[in-house]
């Protein structure tokens, strides 16, 4: 615990950290916690899996007092990340109990209204937070710490105006902490506008390149799905994530994997919150070995023990490739990222291959037996804003 104590973390949180069996701080914790605890505004370049949650949790928990109104607000891009942050804050505050409330869409609003009355710390997605602000069920006048978690994701998902509105509802006199996997020009602009003389810290990508193998298969279009089945059946794997670019494709792949006898489930933005929670629970409990997902649905999820990442579709935005591979080879474990490339992926894959520090080697195509596809892939003309694009 000495390492953590030296960062300035108070006793009750140290005790909770001991329960978690963390041995030493991660890079981002080491760099950010002393600054955060000194009251500075901080821009932290750190992805999910870096240990960033403790970096802001240690500050929020330390400063907050029970029953004194909402003193900390954490904005997250997705419902899953809101739940995950709330659970982590709950764990870290075990010996200094505070009322932590997560609010997000897809759930009935009334119980949230009730909970918010006595909340000390609130974590939420922008849409639902604005909804509460509009109903005057969320008072932010006591907020002294504002956290923007996964800011790049929040902006990618088009929440910029919502985020700005929420920030403007918070008192000017406050500490603001911004966490982002990548600091894009847009994120930097947001930081310049709303952070006060911020200090920047960054942690190395949490993926250890030595532990991560990246390969691709160049496959005829009509064998793409069959190759996926072949590899899933032949590769010895722990938990597996299969990434698709659209909701339609996610359902197509998950349904056909199930039909082929593989234990798979789909998660994407088109599912109800209840359904998403159930899927995640099953995946965490390892009832299901293969999670087929879109980038949006996977954002912010911290799933330990993912050994294989499949890119069934190559992401159009090459940054998503980095986010995807970041789900495996964590915490010293080995991981493999496998891209299945057919003609429709060529353009996107060329962009991925140009990424700095990314080396993907070609694997020889095994002899693949054609798997009969039961659920048809619904090919639609793709144009921006069209349903097929939705993730
Ligand atoms: P986060 O990036 O905050 O979502 O954390 C990713 C995972 O790492 C979570 O499962 C944490 O419980 C875990 N973790 C956070 N800090 C440490 C640490 N210092 N040592 C080991 N594991 C950690």
Q: Please, where in the chain does CATH 3.40.50.300 lie? A: 2-202, 209-379
Cβ–ligand 1 contact at 77 (below 6 Å): no
88 vs 319, more confident: 88
| Residue of 16, 17, 19, 22 to mutate, ligand 1, most atoms within 8 A of C-beta | 22
pLDDT in tens, 119-176: 999 999 999 999 999 999 999 999 999 999 999 889 988 899 999 999 999 999 999 9
Question: Smallest Cα–Cα separation from 127: which of 248, 317, 269?
Answer: 269
Give the closest residue (by CA) to ligand 1 atom 20: 22
33 compared with 46, residue with greater pLDDT: 33
Residue 384: pLDDT over 60: no
pLDDT for the residue numbered 201: 94
> In the predicted model, is pLDDT for residue 358 greater than 50?
yes
* Contact yes or no for 56/36 (Cβ under 8 A): yes
303 CA to centre of ligand 1 in angstroms: 11
Predicted TM-score (pTM) of the model is 0.67
Ligand 1: which of 17, 53, 298 to mutate, most ligand atoms within 8 Å of CB? 53
Fold exhibited by the domain 2-202: Rossmann fold (3.40.50)
Task: Note every long-range contact of 102-109, with CB atoms under 8 Å and residues 24 or more positions apart, other chains counting.
Answer: 103/128, 103/129, 103/132, 103/138, 104/79, 104/128, 104/273, 105/79, 105/131, 105/273, 106/79, 106/272, 106/273, 106/274, 106/276, 107/273, 109/135
- Atom 8 (ligand 1): residue with closest C-alpha? 51
For residue 126, the model assigns a pLDDT of 97
Q: Select from 7, 54, 89, 207 the residue to mutate for testing ligand 1; criterion: most ligand atoms less than 8 Å from CB.
A: 54
Q: What is the pLDDT of residues 206-219, one digit of tens each?
A: 555 667 899 999 99
Q: Give the burial class of 337: count Cβ atoms within 10 A of its Cβ; 0-12 exposed, 13-18 middle, 19 or more buried.
A: buried
Which pLDDT band holds residue 341 (cuts at 50, 70, 90)? very high
Yes or no: is domain 209-379 CATH 3.90.1150.10?
A: no
Separation of alpha carbons 127 and 109, rounded Å: 12
């Amino acid at each position: 615990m000495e390492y953590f104590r030296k960062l300035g973390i108070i006793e009750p949180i140290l005790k909770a950290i001991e329960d978690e069996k963390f041995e030493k701080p991660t890079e981002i914790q080491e760099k950010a916690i002393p600054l955060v605890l000194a009251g500075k505004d901080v821009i932290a370049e750190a992805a999910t899996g870096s240990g960033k949650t403790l970096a802001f949790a240690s500050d929020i928990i330390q400063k907050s007092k029970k029953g004194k109104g909402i003193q900390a607000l954490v904005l997250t891009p997705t419902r899953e990340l809101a739940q995950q942050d709330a659970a982590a804050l709950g764990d870290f505050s075990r010996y200094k109990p505070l009322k932590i409330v997560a609010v997000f869409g897809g759930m009935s609003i009334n119980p949230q209204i009730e909970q918010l009355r006595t909340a000390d710390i609130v974590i939420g997605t922008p849409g639902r937070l604005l909804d509460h602000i509009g109903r005057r069920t969320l008072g932010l006048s006591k907020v002294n710490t504002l956290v923007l978690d996964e800011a790049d994701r929040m902006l990618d998902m088009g929440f910029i105006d919502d985020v700005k509105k929420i920030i403007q509802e918070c008192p000017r006199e406050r500490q603001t902490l911004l966490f982002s996997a990548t600091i894009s020009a847009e994120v930097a602009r947001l930081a310049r506008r709303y952070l006060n003389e911020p200090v920047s810290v960054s942690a190395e990508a949490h993926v250890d390149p030595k532990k991560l193998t990246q390969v691709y298969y160049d496959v005829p279009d009509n064998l793409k799905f069959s190759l996926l089945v072949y590899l899933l059946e032949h590769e010895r794997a722990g938990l597996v994530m299969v990434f698709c670019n659209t909701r339609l494709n996610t359902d197509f792949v998950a349904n056909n994997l199930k039909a082929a006898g593989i234990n798979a489930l789909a998660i994407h933005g088109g599912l109800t919150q209840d359904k998403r929670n159930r899927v995640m629970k099953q995946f965490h409990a390892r009832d299901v070995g293969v999670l087929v997902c879109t980038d949006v649905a996977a954002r912010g999820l911290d799933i330990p023990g993912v050994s294989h990442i499949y890119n069934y579709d190559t992401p159009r935005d090459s940054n998503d490739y980095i986010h995807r591979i970041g789900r495996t080879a964590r915490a010293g474990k080995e991981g493999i990222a496998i891209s299945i490339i057919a003609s429709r992926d060529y353009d996107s894959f060329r962009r991925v291959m140009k990424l700095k520090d990314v080396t993907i080697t070609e694997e020889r195509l095994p002899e693949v037996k054609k798997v009969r596809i039961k659920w048809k892939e619904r090919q639609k003309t793709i144009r921006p804003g069209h349903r097929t694009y939705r993730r």
